[in-house]
Structure 1
Amino acid sequence: MANIKSAKKRILVTATKTARNKQIKSKVKTMIKKVDAAVAAGDKELAKANLVQAVSEIDKACSKGVFHKNTAARKVSRLTKAINNIA
């Protein structure tokens, strides 16, 4: 444990930010899994509905600095491509 007051504060702030980032990443992963499950089931309408929610969560994570903008774009692109490949 740190002895300096500012170092102690940084530890607390880092822990808070880490918890927040973890929560946001978990939510994004859940949304992506919902889209993937709908794609696997072949339900294009459900997949599109879930895609809207997933894109929203990914964009929020990007704007909060949890994901880099290229990472967010890649995730959205892969989900969209998967939906478009449903027969």
Structure 2
Amino acid sequence: MANNKSAEKRIQINERNRLRNRYYKTSVRTLIKLFFKDLESYKISQNNEDKEKLKKILSSIYSLLDKGTKKNIFHKNAAARKKSKLAAYLKGV
């Protein structure tokens, strides 16, 4: 339990940051899973609509990674590594 005002404020700030971090990290993980699921269906169908859907998902992953990096949720090299790997998977199909 906090003993002074600054300790109470730090607890509130830590909780706010924890929720913000969780939002970005879980959203990125969910979108990556969706990306790989759609990538498998694109490998089978080779349909242009599926490719556009993949590019749209990839764009939203990039956006969340960049915003998270800007807010110090992801390290810049970790975000760059994730973006690079995902782009390589799409290019390899």
State if a TM-score over 0.5 links the two structures: yes
Task: List alignment gaps of at least 5 residues for structure 1.
Answer: none
Q: Does residue 1:74 correspond to 2:85, yes or no?
A: no
Q: Percent identity over the alignment?
A: 41
Amino acid at match of 1:53: S
2:15 alignment partner in structure 1: 15
Q: How does 1:3-82 map to 2 (within 5 A)?
A: 3-42=3-42, 43-82=50-89
Q: CA RMSD in A?
A: 1.3
Structure 2 SS opposite 1:82: helix
TM (normalized to structure 2)?
Answer: 0.82
TM (normalized to structure 1)?
Answer: 0.87
Residues 15-69 of structure 1, C-alpha deviation per residue, up to 9 Å, x if partnerless? 1111111111111112212211111222433222211111111111111111010
Runs of 4+ aligned residues of structure 1 deviating over 4 Å after TM superposition are none
Cα distance in 1 for partners of 2:8, 2:62 equals: 37
